[in-house]
Amino acid sequence: MKPAVEDVRAYCEERGYAEISAEDFVDYYESNGWVVGNAPMKDWRRTVDRWHRKNMREKAAERVSEETSYVQPGYVLRLGAEDDDASAAKTKTN
């Protein structure tokens, strides 16, 4: 059974899925004939849950990427340096 936008919105509010747009969810599946993969959707609530988990994984991956992609101020990493130091030596830039 196809849910109304209001049904999806109420379910998302009940579950605390603030990042999911009920309108986007209904529009997406309406345009795809309420099919998941190659099979008709059996339970729209489980599909909303899946959207939520996917969003959480993507946000976590973005956070990890942001947390690990920084450069320590004042230093650069020199690769292939031909000094006495190791080929990957840190050098003060200031």
Tokens found for residue 30: 């309406």
Residues in CB range of 1: below 8 A, 6 or more apart: 44
Q: Which pTM does this prediction carry?
A: 0.65
- Residue extents of the structural domains in the chain: 1-94
pLDDT for 88 equals 45
Q: Average pLDDT by consecutive 10-residue portion of the chain (94 residues)?
A: 96 97 97 95 97 92 70 58 49 50
